[in-house]
Every structure is written in C-alpha cells, then in structure tokens.
Structure 1
Amino acid sequence: MREDMLTIGAFAKACRLSPKALRLYDELDLLKPGRVDPDTGYRYYAVAQLEQARLVAWLRRLGMPLARIRQVCALRPADAAREIRAYWARVETETAARRDLAEFLVEELSAVSASVSVSRKDTTMLELRYCAHSDRGLVRPANQDTAYAGSRLLAVADGFGPTGHPASSAAIDALRVLDTPEAPTGNVLNLLDDAVRGATDAVRDAVDGDGEDAGTTLTALLWTGSRLALVHIGDSRAYVLRGGGLFRITDDHTVVQSMIDEGRLTPEEAATHPQRMLLLKALTPTATPDLRLQDAEPGDRYLLCSDGLSRVVPDGQIRDLLTSAPTPDTAVHALTAAANEAGGPDNISCVVADVVDRTAT
C-alpha cells in the first residue's frame, strides 16, 4: 500500500466517519475511495481526501441532507460557505416555527391548568373594538381580497388567480364559525387547526379546475378573552402597535423573504426583485401555517393587512397612521388612502382592532 493511502479503518478514525458511513457515501458517489483492491474489494483512501471527508462529517453533524452535501462539496470554498450559511438560515427559520408551536402548546396547557385563578386580564376585563375595510386599489380590475372583523375573529385573505376572490371569501367564511354563538369550545389550538382545515377544503372547492393558478393567503387572529391566537400563511401581515412601537408578528412566506433569511438578498434588493410577489406557501392541504399565541395588553392596537398595503406603505408611515388615528375605523381608512396615494397597485385590505379594558370605560 502506498504511503499516501489509508485503509478504510484508519481513514474513518482520522475523519471521524464510520466505515459504514464511508461505504454508504461510496455507493452514493459522495466520497469515492482512492483505490479499491480488485481481489478483496477493500477500500483505500488518499490522505488528500481527509479534508473533504471532514467537511462531510461536519455537514452531517449540522443535519444537512446527503444530496445537499454533495452539492456543497462540489463548490469552491467561497460558494460552499454561502451555501452553508443559506442552509443554516433555513434551519433556524424552521426551528423558530417549531419553537413558536412549542411555546403555543406550553402556554395553552399552562392556561388550562391555571384557569381557576383570576387575573387582571380575565375575560370579563378585556374586549376588542375593531373595523375591517377592503379596497380594489387603483390598478387591479377587481378586488380579490377579503377582510373580516368580529368580536372574536380578525382575518385577512388575499386571493390570487382566476378564482382568487372566491378562494379568499371561502377561507374567511369557513373561519367565521369561530365568531358565532354556535362556535365550538375547547383548546384554542385545536379550534384553529379544525377551522383552518375547513378553510383549506373550502378553498379547494372554490378553485376547483384552476389548480395551482388560484388560491389565497390567510392571516387571522382568534380572541380568547385575554390573548390572541394567530394563524398565518402567505404574505399578508399582522402587526401590533404597543408603547408607540410597531412590531410585525408574522413572517412572509415568499421567495424573496427566504432569500433574505438565507443572506442571499438584502431587504433593499428585495423591494425591487422580480420575484418579490412569488409565494412559497399559500392555503393548501400540503402547506403548514404558522401558529402562535400573542399576549394582549390594554392599549394594544393590532393591524392585519394584505400586501397591497405593506408593499407600498413603509412600516414607519404605517406606525404613524396607526398612532394618530383615534379609532379603528379612521385607522383602516387612513391606511387605505395612503396605499392609494402610493399608486394603489394592488387590492388593499386592513383590519384594525384595539384591546380595551371595559372597566375603564
């Protein structure tokens, strides 16, 4: 055996990959041995292969799939570094979504166990004051958005495609059962999950025949009496105005947002990117919406809006308009007017709701 060759056992020890893993990577053409003995079939590896093998080992420790590792290993170091950064950004995004769901479950179950105690934020104390408004804008021939506000449910759906309006209407109509005297009771996570399943089925029926060319986003808040349960999928948004600051509580499910998260694009570049309106997820049976619980405080003002507002009106201006408007009604009309003044290139839907303490009025 040449001095620059290692047995599979020695190579495995040096690169911290098991012989079993090395045999698998050979079969997958990910890490081929330097030489295979024609008589025994025994594998030998060149010392020069250690660097690539160690990279494979580290990437496996990151949890990177083998197919993506093969792509990374074929790149130049600078390009490989960018690919690893992009992969890890995606992992962090997915982990954050699972973390939110875990927190949702912990808070919901903790609230059930503590239901016998009475706090300042009991359901007899807080309520919502709300208004919803939807506008065609100045360019689109029809309004495909649907907006809804009620004592328990706030929702915005942004339809797209030939049957976009039936899709958005169907989604909201399916959720409205949560805002009726006949609304089911129980764990809020289960209630939302059931309602979204119903909305997904309703959208599928509404766009029957149009396939992937039509559908809708959905962003909704369900009022529990002291908190708001959020369900979100697509690029409509939810914000909270609290203490003079405006905070976005949803993440856009778009191609450009994923590129921003992965470090491939800056927010400034995203504003003019040709794929800035391309969705990664919409309300379909195979897509999983984001779920989270949002603690409510007296004085909070919530905004749900379609991208017809957020794409043309900067967050700073949205904050100023929400701060200066005395009521939800004046707020939604001021926001709509601002979007139209910015050109109104898309349909504009806004829902604004204030959390108020009934004992203080």
Structure 2
Amino acid sequence: MGWLTIGAFAKACRLSPKALRLYDELDLLKPARVDPETGYRYYADAQLDRARLVAWLRRLGMPLARIREVCALPAGPAAREVRAYWARVEAETAVRRDLAAFLVDHLSGESGECGESRRDTTMLELRYAARSDRGRVRPSNQDTAYAGRRLLAVADGCGPAGASAGAAAVAALKPLEEAELSPGNVLNLLEDAVRSASEAVRRVADGSTEVGTTLTALLWTGSRLALVHIGDSRAYLLRDGELFRITHDHSVVQSLIDEGRLTPEEAASHPQRMLLAKALPGDAADTPDLKLHEVRAGDRYLVCSDGLTRAVPDERIRELLAGGEPADAVRVLTEAADAAGGTDNASAVVADVVSPTRPPVSAD
C-alpha cells in the first residue's frame, strides 16, 4: 500500500492540511498511519473518496457533527440525509429572502431619488369576524380566536391548561391594538409582543412541558399586514379568486415533508401528525416567523386553527371563503369542519381589506 503525506493527500482531496488535522482530532477523518517517532500523518489512497465527500459537504455548509453521521452511512441513506439537509437550508433561506425583500421594499419606499421621505398614503380598513367551534368530540374548546380593529389572531392550546395558554398568548398581543404602528416598527413591536406572549404561556404552564400553544396573528398598520406565526395554525390570503397559504407549518410531519422523507399523502395518516416542532413557550431555538405583507383592496385573509385545515381541504376552504361577508365565511368554514366529523376544535378569523367607506363589523 502506498502512503500519502498530509500535504500530498490535502492536494489530492482539496482539503487543507490544517483542516485534515482538525478532522483527525474530531475523529472525522483519521490518518491511516502516524509515524511513532516523528508524528507525521500518512493517508491511504482508499481514504480519498471519504475525504472528497467531507470537502463537498463542507462546501454545502453542513456542520461537522452531521458530516460525521452522513459519512458513516451507506450511499443511499447518505444521499437522503444530504437531500434532507439541503431542504432545510432552502427553507431557512426562504425566510431570510422574505426579510430581505421586505427591507428592500421598505427602504426603497421610504426615500425618493433626492432622499426625501416618501410614505404610503393609501389607507385601507379591515372588515372582520371571528368564530370558534368546540366540535363534536373534544370535551372543551382550547382554541382562542380574536378579531379586532388591528389584530387578527388564533391560538390553539394544548395540554391540561391549553385553553388558558392560548388565551394568554392572544391577550399579550392585544395591547398592539392601541400601539403607534408603522411599516418600519411593526415587526419589532410584534416580536416584542410575542416574547411577552411566550412568558405569559410559561406562567400558565407553571413548569409543565405538556402545556403550550400555537399562535398565528396578523397586525394591521393601515396599509400593510404584519404576520407572526409559530406552530401549525395557518394564515391564508384569498386574492382574485386564488387561495395562497402564507404560513409554513412548524410540525414534525411538515419537517419530514420538507426534507423529502415523507409525502403530503403519507403525512395525513402519520402517527406523529399532531406533534409540533415549534410552539409557545418553546425555547431559544423556537423563533416565530415574522413577515410584512403588502395588501390590496379586495384581499381576504383567513387565520385558522388546524382543526379546520385538517378537516377541510384547501380547495374547499377556497370555495367557502369566497362568498359572503366575513361573518358568513367564519360560520360556513367552522360548520364545514364540524360536518367533516368535528374531531377537533375549529376556529376561523376572516378579514376583508376595504376602502374606508363603512365601519368594520365587530367580531362574534
């Protein structure tokens, strides 16, 4: 067997000698032989494939701990792990892309060619309604649905104090109804409010790891809607007859779908389909999604709990959402969930973006 010095091996696999020394220390890529007198490292030709794989995975940005796991797998499972890793990177990049687009749009709209302030003067209003239904199976309703002049929110509590947890999360956001909002500060205010919501839920949980809540909310500035989302409640936009989901579920099965390990059809009957990947109160890693949405007159928004979306397919939601006033829409949507079996609490908040011609309708 021919031996390669660390320099020759580094050149062949396109890893630096410094990186090879680090990978030796981490037991990721051990040399085939170490001279007992000089301490020189020598590598075998057969190690080149593994070294090149390590180099490629590092270029992807994969953490070393995960690279060690991938390298220990046969080719097929290793390929699936790489696919899963990259799917997660793309999902995280999409969140940053949305934030970058908002910043570009916000900064472009704040100043004209000569640096003069230029603010959006097109003010619209919301007409809204909210409804929550216990369903036919659950002994109590742990959902909280709220619609106000500025705030639209749904929280789906879980655990023995789930109803209180959801109510506490929404209550922590209600002071934003009276806050001074602008597109420039709304996301910061919403982020602070969610921290308060998380602490409120933590107090309700009183140390129990079984108590928590989802939270999906839209906050109205007068010209835009800010979204905060954590968990598997959802928000939708109905625009020009087309339905768009504007949230991404933070659930175990959605993570498996994103990573290519599960199909949407398989997810519908997966034994872990009710498990959340993120919720309140959560930990430091459970950060909510925050986005700012441009609106148009004629847009209709829906915020709802998973008791609705699990029972009623998106196409049917689109059909039911398209007709009547907001109060009509929340009624027919929750009734459809009940008619489909009513196995869970179902809540819906619907809001129309309108020109300020008439006052909004109070929530149910």
Q: Does TM, normalized by the shorter one, top 0.5? A: yes
* Correspondence 1:241 to 2:238: yes
Q: 1:157·1:216 contact (CA, 8 Å) conserved in 2?
A: yes
Deviates more, 1:93-102 or 1:60-69: 93-102
List per-residue Cα deviations over 1:181-213 (Å, max 9, x = no partner): xx2445111111121111111111111132x21
**Cα distance in 2 for residues equivalent to 1:340 and 1:326:** 20
| Runs of 4+ displaced beyond 6 Å | none
Q: Which amino acid aligns with 2:151?
A: L
Question: What aligned pairs does 1:1-361 form with structure 2 within 5 A after superposition?
Answer: 2=1, 4-113=2-111, 116-117=117-118, 122-123=122-123, 126-180=124-178, 183-185=179-181, 187-210=185-208, 212-284=209-281, 285-286=283-284, 287-323=286-322, 325-358=323-356
Q: 2:34·2:42 contact (CA, 8 Å) conserved in 1?
A: yes
User: 1:29 Cα shift?
Assistant: 1.2
List per-residue Cα deviations over 1:18-39 (Å, max 9, x = no partner): 1111111111111111111111
Q: 1:95 to 1:7 in 2, by over 3 A?
A: same
Q: What's the RMSD between the two structures over aligned residues?
A: 1.7
| Secondary structure class of the residue paired with 1:358 | coil
Name stretches of at least 5 consecutive residues in structure 2 with no aligned partner.
360-364
Q: 1:255 to 1:168 in 2, by over 3 A?
A: same
**Cα distance in 1 for residues equivalent to 2:358 and 2:296:** 13
| TM-score, reference length from structure 2 | 0.93
Deviates more, 1:99-108 or 1:32-41: 99-108
Q: 2:330·2:349 contact (CA, 8 Å) conserved in 1?
A: yes
Indicate the percent of aligned positions where both proteins have the same amino acid.
71
List per-residue Cα deviations over 1:267-305 (Å, max 9, x = no partner): 000000000110000022522100111111111110000
User: 1:359 Cα shift?
Assistant: 5.2
User: 1:48 Cα shift?
Assistant: 1.2
| TM-score, reference length from structure 1 | 0.94
Q: 1:138·1:345 contact (CA, 8 Å) conserved in 2?
A: yes
Name stretches of at least 5 consecutive residues in structure 1 with no aligned partner.
none
User: 1:110 Cα shift?
Assistant: 4.0
Q: 1:255 to 1:315 in 2, by over 3 A?
A: same
User: 1:252 Cα shift?
Assistant: 0.1
Q: 1:232·1:290 contact (CA, 8 Å) conserved in 2?
A: yes
